[in-house]
Structure 1
């Protein structure tokens, strides 16, 4: 008895086979320039391995030496025990379908390989260029070189919230974004996320508003800064005043009108005045006692201006012979 295969059954079998082959395809994204290893499923003991890039042979093994072909010559290595193939220094020219046959079973695995680059840091461009606070709506574009980094997705952030997936172009409307000060974007591809852009100021805000601080806050900051400066100046002045008066108490000029003051007190006052900066001059200017002030000026100011001790004056009638030299023998 002969068995006749219905054409519809054959068509169904072909469709099932195609679906099996399609379902076996695996997308592989790999960084350009790095070594890629494709490992087929475990197929038990192997006696034949054949790898293809598209329709071109890459490598095969039939139980003897491994043969490599022109498609990826000198850049591939085949492991006969596992069927793994290693591709070195992959570039976008090596993108495509890679298939492997094990033990003469057709296309045991199918890999759609894409060698891509990392995404770069984008920059936000405002469109149109004349977008201003008077505009009602504008568009932000997250721009970067994505030629060798596809597939790329775009992410946006505003209001300090989490990143949200979007498109390269982001429409913005003035009436909805009055509370936003900056926008940021970044790119992502199968290799990972890239560096985020520099913050872009909201084009609908006036320059005075882009700081994010209301006018009242700015006024408070200015007043606070002025108050801080005044406080520092007062503190420095008080410290200097206190230091001066601790080192030099209040100046007492000799003969200040106190008739009860003794000679010793007057002498101490005179010494104190001479030791102070411009002390003699200050007592002279006070004109409390012209006679004492003249004495201070003659003994203090002369020394201050010339650098030499001023000549001392001897009251009339006083014998100076005992003050100069040894006593005379009689």
Structure 2
């Protein structure tokens, strides 16, 4: 019986010795060092080995008396050093491949002390996702990661999360009417910890959101305003720009305080409602209201957009049987045909391909642009016009024939005119001048005495 107890004791002792040693967890890129608690001289050689689960044991680095230190495995090349006096191994620029158990042989004898290394990726900086619910005063904040998750609020309180259906955790956040409350999600593992940027309640419950076209009018007012009211101030918060006062009422006097709102802004002092007309892109932003000097939690987000233009379809004839139709505009584009079908288009060129021998020859095509405030559709393009040569001026030989005919008609008219003119001239030249009456008539036609000079004789003495 005592013999069996002795055997158990020996087994337990040996097992304990075998697993004794140091356990270290490091991040990728870190450095680690291992050394024996004690090394007994004389030492003739030192060999460090790496035992990786599911892989062969490999020699890492080795030194023998009178020889240089040699790194024996490519996994440890240029990143591993050995102190021959203490037997310490140092590995830098760690990767996941360096995870495993490290053992050391001294003077050819394996030592019982072992060193376990776990290399881990550091956690990423988390990003909180926001998911709306059916309740406008409740949202879900989601931290979708596999690591340990810690939720906190701006008061430093740790919040309990619930398991998310995919991975990670989420929390329910209720609107507490305090825009300065914030929430963070932290990820943690054995080597690192990262915390998300804070998410503020003012960004979770933005109140009313309105989108308007340039030139439109908008009105905002609180759900409830509690008297007595001594002052009302509306402010405009524009991204990357200083917050400005838009309009203010105090001591019975209303003042528009910023030129951006001059002559287009009014305030109802009974309800607190602000109305802005003739909107421009400059009016985009968040509007807040102070009542009796206190900022209210309700916020109003306004986005002002230009209406889309009426699109014009461009045409590019690739060959006699293929035409590209393009609609090159920013924003949402929809191609349709006269059958009411929505057509797929090439997103990089916003164009569709029309083939002469495919589909209905009577088809038409339109391009529609749309944004949050307007919608415009192009004039239809008829397929029969895309492949009708006559619509582009006809064949070249018809143009040449018409041109030749025009030239011939002009030449004939000119020839007839010349012929008639020469005939009249010859007739006038051969006609005899019989009396002064003829001379006077010819003189009137030809311009006085110039007629006689051209005819080569002096005028007769008429009337003598």
Normalised to the residue count of structure 2, the TM-score between the two structures is 0.37
Describe the SS at the equivalent of 1:21: helix
Point out the structure with the larger helix share: 1
Matched, 1:222 2:232: yes
Structure-2 residue corresponding to 1:114? 118
Distance 1:182 1:195, change over 3 A: closer
Residue ranges of structure 2 left out of the alignment (5+ in a row): 52-56, 163-167, 209-221, 235-244, 258-464
8 Å CA contact retained: 1:51, 1:59: yes
Residues 39-58 of structure 1 aligned to structure 2 (within 5 Å): 39-45=35-41, 47=43, 48-54=45-51, 55-58=57-60
Aligned twin of 2:102: 98
Stretches of structure 1 lacking an aligned partner (at least 5 in a row)? 147-151, 235-330
**Would you say 1:142 and 2:143 are equivalent positions?**
yes
Tell me what 2:85 maps to: 81
Task: Identify the match of residue 22 of structure 1 among 11, 19, 24.
Answer: 19
Give the match for residue 61 of structure 1.
Answer: 63
Aligned partners of 1:102, 1:70: CA distance in 2, in Å? 19
Alignment map for 1:1-330 (pairs within 5 Å): 6-29=3-26, 31-45=27-41, 47=43, 48-54=45-51, 55-65=57-67, 66-70=69-73, 72-75=75-78, 76-103=80-107, 106-126=110-130, 129=131, 131-133=133-135, 140-144=141-145, 152-158=147-153, 160-163=155-158, 168-172=168-172, 182-199=182-199, 201=201, 207-208=206-207, 222-223=232-233, 226-227=248-249
Q: Is the 8 A contact 2:230 2:250 kept in 1?
A: no
| Cα separation, 2, equivalents of 1:216 and 1:20 | 77
For residues 233 and 94 of structure 2, the distance between their equivalents in structure 1, rounded to whole angstroms, comes to 63
Distance in 2 (alpha carbons) for counterparts of 1:90 and 1:222: 62
Range with greater deviation from structure 2 (50-59 or 12-21): 12-21
CA 221–161 in structure 1, closer or farther in 2 if over 3 Å, else same: farther
- Distance of 1:49 and 1:116 partners within structure 2: 28
Note if contact 1:102-1:108 (Cα within 8 Å) is conserved in structure 2.
no
Gap change, CA 1:166 and 1:207, over 3 Å in 2: closer
CA deviations on 1:63-87 (whole Å, 9 max, x unpaired) are 2323432253523221111111122
Q: Residues 88 and 220 from structure 1, CA distance in 2 versus in 1: closer, same or farther, beyond 3 angstroms? A: farther
**Count of matched residue pairs:** 214
1:228 Cα deviation from its structure 2 partner: 6.9
